Structure 1
Amino acid sequence: MKKLDYLKYLTFILFVLFLCCEAYLRMFKAENMVLHDYPKIYRFDRDVGYKGIPNIDGYIRRPSIDKHFKLNNFGFYGPDFSLEHADSVFRIIIVGSSVAQGMWANQKESFASLLNDRFKRENFKVEVINCGISGASRGLKNIRSAREIATKFRPNLILFELALPINDINYSRETYRDYSILFTGNNLDEFKHSKFVAQRKVDLIKSHSLITELANYSYVIRFLYRRSSDSWGTMMNCWKIYSENSADSWLYYSSEQLNMEQSLTEINKLSADLVRVNCRLVTFEYGSSLFDNKYERKFSNIGLNLPLDKDQYHHELDGHPNLKGDLIIAESLFKVLKDRYIPTVFLPKT
């Protein structure tokens, strides 16, 4: 009898503790505990890992971000644009990762669209197109993308978001049963096998919907899901996948890490390739320039020296720039581009 009373008392204490934790998370950590919704907008591409699906509707839900959007007619984040452009218009295309893409922010505008608006307000004959695609460590893939973009869209100038030294990871993304899946490989067979493993993880989640549905109602459960890991067991890993809305398989993970000299060699090659299609390469860095005079460069580089790490310039619970951050990027690029890179014929008439 005493043991039964003890179990009742312990159960009561645990229940009260659970309610207190639930109340605390709902009152003070509600935004941190949101269930994620990863954008399901990509398809596999052998050359650059993955590409956006043209004209697809997307949605992002993360701490401090809640946004619906639509990719344009070429699968990029921004308004539709034409394949060709008139000779009377100076076309600038921005290539880079998630900061350049601008999708991972609550505001609708990317700094590319803000920069385009700035040129239009000042009556420049300039158009700025955003061809960024989110994803960390895509250095060599972004270089390959820049080559493809220059050939396809014939820009006059490519603004290339630079992160040195270049690091490149062999991964791709697709959508499977309303989950974003990430898979790896160095050839098609490896990609297929890794993709299969990621899909099986999603299948397992779908077969245990009663357990995963607990996260829809309890913030404590979400907290536990968020802190689970592969080492805790298969089911706990599934819970984490559910809360992130993204499943991954790193079966054939490999990372190509270039030193500074190798990185510059790749960018110099890109610059030479772009010259052949009448396009100029200009790289840019959000902070100070990492170059010094001992490296030979065949391209121009812009070091913006922006304080994007300060709280007022990025989302509170996310490192991507907020509207203030995108505005200072756009304004800084506008000043440099109009003074140094836009030919006189495209300047506003005085």
Structure 2
Amino acid sequence: MNILSLNQIDYLPDGLLEATPENLQRILPGPTLIHLPGRQAEPLFVSVLLHGNEPTGLLSLQLLLKKYQSQPLPRSLSIFFGNVSAASKNLRRLDNQPDYNRIWPGTELPNCAETEMAREIVSIMKKRHVFASVDVHNNTGLNPHYACINKLENQFLQLASLFGRLIVYFIRPKGVQSAAFAEICPAVTLECGRPGQHYGVEHVLEYLSSCLHLTALPQHQVQHQDIDLFHTVAQVKVHEKISFSFNQADADLLLNEDLERMNFTEIPAGTVWGTSKYDSLMPIIAQDECGNNVTDDYFSIQNGNLLINRHNIMPSMLTLDERVIRQDCLCYLMERIRL
């Protein structure tokens, strides 16, 4: 049953720095953890391609490692190349796979080969006295760059603010990489815009370079005026029995085609998200960070229109990619918080 094993090496295989996400599998046969030495022994841990269609982490690491081909790294670096089989097909995950950013310790998924592998990686990095963890992602929707944290502690805020002003605090969904590593070191998730944007690659390259040169994370407190901090209060999914679309008029739920433009915008109550065929069946489900159904707190159906109920709610990760919506969710809802 357990046919997945972690490939762990301490060198860069030939061709890795030139590989595309699509042909990476020819060089790395499966999920691979690579350890590289640096001047400071405690390693920076970086995970890329947990979702196979999010290549920015791989591309930025390739540029970074090319810079250090003839000189030592400022700090040891451990890199996890995640779902290389999904990357070969430019998919978030294959149909027979779990989501590689839901398999980490704390997950609600049943035990499987992937959850065993994730536990092993965390154990390995704990023994190596990991300095900090960075998980690099792209968005499918129209979103700014932002960093996510799972603990409202100063070291986490410092690590996140190195990426920019926008910081999102969340504790759900469970089983994400950053939450697992948050138990052993400061950890962030970087959301770097859509794939294929050169600025995203450059931004992550600059960030990882800065992390490698840190001797320690700053001890002074992050000031509230220096960041925009948001708390994820709900995850929104489309009801599994409901058909939905952005352009098919006969769908049970017809969502607005410009919905993703609401990302990171505080929207007023009464904003229409789409139209529903059913007045009696709510087509979406919102769960709070404890897993409670809070749909009626945030949404209502009036005259066939799906409306947001609360003032100044800010969506994130709204996307027009219907496959991703089914595999993951429609969006998250956030509220602004102060330190």
TM-score over 0.5 for the pair: no
Bigger helix fraction: 1
User: Which protein, 1 or 2, shows the higher relative CO under an 8 Å CA cutoff with sep ≥ 6?
Assistant: 1
TM-score, reference length from structure 1: 0.31
TM-score, reference length from structure 2: 0.32
Bigger strand fraction: 2
